[in-house]
Amino acid sequence: MHIRAFICAFLLVCLFAIGADAQDGPNPGQQNAGAIASGGTLYRARCAECHGADAKGVAGHDLTRLWTSGATDERVFQTIRNGVPNTIMPSSTAPDGELRALIAYLRSLNGPAAPEPLRGNAENGERVFAANCSSCHAINGLGGRLGPDLSRIAQSRAQLTEAIRSPASAIASGYQTVTVVTRDGERVTGTLKGEDAFSVQLMDTSQRLRAYMKPGLKSFVREPGSLMPEYGVNRVSESDLDDLIRYLSTFRPAAGRPRREP
């Protein structure tokens, strides 16, 4: 349910789907303050529209945690160069130098590249996941669909903690809670998958896809909260939380192992 979790997971899929052959080489602009400034200019002109002025994502993804999530300069380069198929992220014909400057700028926004130390017990984490999460979240094809797929979740400990303890703090697009009441009185709550002036598409809490024409509804309400309950310490102890995050981290794609989708 956490927007950043969803964003990073998706971005990693995109990054790893592209650029398999290139080796990670030194980025000439990496340490260059001029390149960072120039990259900032390029970023504001070409990227900020979708990725946000602070690069934390709007329509596009959060770009401030790319490297800590295992991306490399070359993979980011290839993503910018080739675009992301089936999304609005276009390819770029800009000179290599401009893309390198852009990467230098993005790198300057990213936190320290050193991975966070792992702690917790993944085996117990899997049990915690099965008991609390899997009815709504899937990993590697197993689990529910009401919440985002967590197979490639790649987030910091702090982000995952917030997503589990306070899921309403940020809700990914496609997972906002809505309630409709039909003209014959049926009340259906679910996650909003789509809406236009005439219709609404949602997944109800039994994970059925349902669609309604608006004139056939008595009401259509966007709920402020998340369908995901808050998992406070009374439901998931600090120790279990460590284990759960460790378990989720086992699915993080390892740096330096790019994959190309078939």
Partner 1 sequence: MIAMRIDTKERTALLAVVLGSSLVLAQEKPPSGLTSQEIAHGYEAPTRWPTYSGDYTGQRHTPLTQITPANAHRLSAQWTFQTGIIPRRGYEGTPLVVDGVMYLTGPFNTAWAVDARTGRAFWRYRRDLPNDLTYGAVSPVNRGMGLLGNRLFLPTADAHLVALDTASGNVVWDTALADYKIGYAATAAPLVVKDKVIVGISGGDFPTRGFLDAYDPETGKRIWRFYTVPGPGEAGSDTWPGADVMARGGGATWVTGAYDPELNLIYWGTGNPNPLYYGEDRKGTNLYTASIIAIDADTGTLQWYHQFTPHDTHDWDSNHVPVLAELPIAGQQRKVVMVANRNGFFYVFDRATGKLLVGKPFSDTTWARELDANGHPIVVNDGSKGCLPDQWGSTNHMPPSYDPARRLFFVTVRETCAAYLPVKEEIVPGRISNSGTVRRDADRSYGVLRAIDPTNVERKWEFKYPTPTMAGTMSTASGVVFAGDNEGNFMAFDAATGKNLWFYPTGAPIWGAAAMSYMLDGRQYVVIGSGTNVTAFALPPQ
Residues forming contacts to partner 1 in the complex (CB under 8 A) are 38, 40-42, 44-46, 48-49, 52-54, 58-59, 90, 93-94, 195-198
Burial class for 243, CB neighbours closer than 10 Å (0-12, 13-18, 19+): buried
CB 55, CB 63: distance < 8 Å: yes
Q: What strands lie across the sheet with 209-213, from one edge to the other? A: 209-213, 199-204, 187-195, 177-182, 217-222
Choice between 83 and 253, CB closer to partner 1: 83
Query: Minimum CB separation from partner 1 for residue 14, in Å?
Result: 17
Cα distances from 130 to residues 16, 123, 134, in angstroms, run 27, 11, 5
Choice between 55 and 164, CB closer to partner 1: 55
Query: Minimum CB separation from partner 1 for residue 198, in Å?
Result: 6
Query: Minimum CB separation from partner 1 for residue 35, in Å?
Result: 13
CA dist., res. 18 & res. 86, Å (int): 13
Query: Minimum CB separation from partner 1 for residue 195, in Å?
Result: 5
Choice between 101 and 150, CB closer to partner 1: 101
Query: Minimum CB separation from partner 1 for residue 7, in Å?
Result: 15
CA dist., res. 9 & res. 139, Å (int): 12
Give residue for tokens 């320290």.
112
Choice between 51 and 152, CB closer to partner 1: 51
Choice between 97 and 232, CB closer to partner 1: 97
